[in-house]
Chains A and B, each alone.
Chain A
Amino acid sequence: MTQLALVIDLNVCVGCHACVTSCKEWNTSGWAGPMTDLRPYDADPTGVFFNRVQTYEAGVFPNTETYHFPKSCLHCEDPPCVPVCPTGASYKREDNGVVLVDYDKCIGCKYCSWACPYGVREFDEQQKVMKKCTLCIDRVTDMTLPESERKPACVLACPTSARIYGDIHDPDSDVSVAIREQGGYPLQPEWGTKPSNHYLPRRKTRIQIHEDELVRVDNPLKKEELPTLPEAGETLDDVAW
């Protein structure tokens, strides 16, 4: 059986948010739209996004690495949001495993968002229904499009090709090969939800830091202050991947 999914390569994601804007642009006018934006120019803007990129930093200066971490619905193989839905509005497609919401059935009780440990479902304050990543179901199943465009908007937009899309149940697909060969991992595997989306880890890099390079030589005001470096401790190379 087919299980469509995304594989996100954290080694090349640069956090440009192109996937976020492309997702919003495509889906707000598509099958899943609108994606509400409330008070966009006021002090307290808010809105619906299917995909958000967060940034984390690992390590202690100067031995740090920045992780740009895009997160959207993981289209779990055993989605906890589906059985809790009281109306059957939340469902998993039999033919390709995409988890969707039927907006005409959703009563907006938000119970599915409580049941999702990843926080990837968002309530639309204007339409009063639950929304989430559809994996661009209207694109990927549209047979009138050429095959190269039958991909989610985020995948097509990514300038570094950090996002790979395909069937993770097909052992020869791009996504399966990437997961197998680059150590792809799911998020919060402890819950047993078996997320279909996977992440490819950072590949190990070595940097040589000379202490004299940390301070600018042409710094006449001597404003630059260095934090005291830890004598010893965990470095990035000590981390077990």
Chain B
Amino acid sequence: MHPAFSVIFLTTLIGVGQGLFLALYTGQLYALANLLPAQSSNFYAVGSMVSLALLFAGLIASFFHLGHPERAWRAATQWRTSWLSREVLALPAAMGLIFLYGTVHFFDLTKPLFVISGTLPVDFSLIIGGLGTLAVFGLFLCTAMIYASLRFIKAWYSPLTVANFLFLGIASGFMLAAAFSAYQGTSLVGFYGTWAVIATLFGLLTRVATLYRNGQFRCKVDLKSAVGVHHSQLEQKAQGFMGGSFNTREFFHGRSQRLLNLIRYAFLLMVFVVPVILILLAYALESETLPLLAFGIQYLGLILERYHFFTEAQHPQNLYYQSMA
């Protein structure tokens, strides 16, 4: 498939935004259980706004993929069947809840509403955060299922696609949370950094499994089945037109195998190896800037990762364009 930068930025930016929100809420839960020092409401409020800004940037990026963005509101109507429609609903839902979560913290509306069994004080932020977490996981599922539900594109048609979107989003979000707390001078760098490393390692596991899987399988449909001529020597002589067409532009990446190999090694290094080393170094050196660098490199790596994700996918329609393939 031809990688579209609008979609690459959409999926990576909202991934980071969602992960960051999960990091904030996780931190709040830990603080509630007295496992972490409680943070100022400003920390949560600013963090939520950063998360919201990332989701908004993703939303803007997605519009560049549309031929008619002014009709984008229509895209919410087919939620019964289309994962794209479901994403269009889940994204504003998550954004709204994250906005509310940030607002509640900003105005310090965190007085307990009631206390469960005398130990667990429940306030607005806890409830909204819980709902936000559900929305965020739902959004991860919707975004990934847009690709994982296409049964003809075998490289994507796998639960691993969902796992990758989830783990890489969480990893980059927690990485940003670590950078954010380092920048704010709070004591949560170690906590967020640890979870970022754990999520990154899970992501490494599923992404390498995907690469291995995609290197192994063969498509069950071949040119014989596509044309219906069951002869072992079948060769395309003409594709029916001399210039390009939508089919030859949309479904071919036109990049050399060499470049793709380079991108693969680059993203494996930039998403999984370098950030982990940097965050460990940051922990050892108590550095304030290294977590930020770790996040920056991981995010650039994620752009390459998504680029590779698209070029990896072989569309069965390419069978009809043997002279291109």
* Chain A contacts to B: CB under 8 angstroms: 10, 17, 20, 39, 44-49, 52-60, 66-67, 69, 71, 80, 82-89, 105-111, 113-120, 122-123, 125, 127-129, 185-191, 199, 201-202, 234, 236, 239-241
- On chain A, the residues within 8 Å of B150 by CB distance are 84, 114-115
| Distance of A56 Cα from B228 Cα, bound (Å) | 11
* A189 and B240 contact, Cβ closer than 8 Å, known pairs A86-B85, A111-B146, A239-B230: no
Q: Mark B221-232, 1 if CB is under 8 A from A, else 0.
A: 101011111111
* A84 and B238 contact, Cβ closer than 8 Å, known pairs A46-B245, A107-B69, A114-B1: no
- On chain B, the residues within 8 Å of A110 by CB distance are 65, 250
| Distance of A240 Cα from B230 Cα, bound (Å) | 7
* Chain B contacts to A: CB under 8 angstroms: 1, 65-69, 71-72, 74-78, 81-85, 88, 146, 149-153, 220-221, 223, 225-247, 250-251, 315-318, 320-321
| Structural contact, A187 and B225, CB atoms closer than 8 A | yes
- On chain A, the residues within 8 Å of B315 by CB distance are 114, 117, 119
* A58 and B229 contact, Cβ closer than 8 Å, known pairs A86-B85, A86-B88: yes
Q: A83-B78, A115-B152, A117-B316 are in contact. List 9 more A-B contacts (CB 8 A).
A: A55-B240, A106-B68, A109-B66, A119-B251, A119-B317, A129-B68, A187-B227, A190-B221, A190-B225
| Structural contact, B68 and A108, CB atoms closer than 8 A | yes
B67 partner, pick from A67, A85, A108, A241, beta carbons under 8 A: A108
**8 residue pairs bridging A and B, Cβ less than 8 Å apart:** A44-B244, A49-B241, A56-B234, A106-B71, A107-B71, A107-B74, A113-B250, A119-B316
Chain B facing A: main interface SS: loop
A179 → B minimal CB distance (Å): 13
- On chain A, the residues within 8 Å of B67 by CB distance are 106-109, 123, 127-129
| Structural contact, B240 and A20, CB atoms closer than 8 A | yes
B224 → A minimal CB distance (Å): 10
- On chain A, the residues within 8 Å of B236 by CB distance are 54-57
| Distance of A111 Cα from B85 Cα, bound (Å) | 11
B233 partner, pick from A46, A58, A89, A115, beta carbons under 8 A: A58
| Distance of A106 Cα from B78 Cα, bound (Å) | 13
A83 → B minimal CB distance (Å): 4
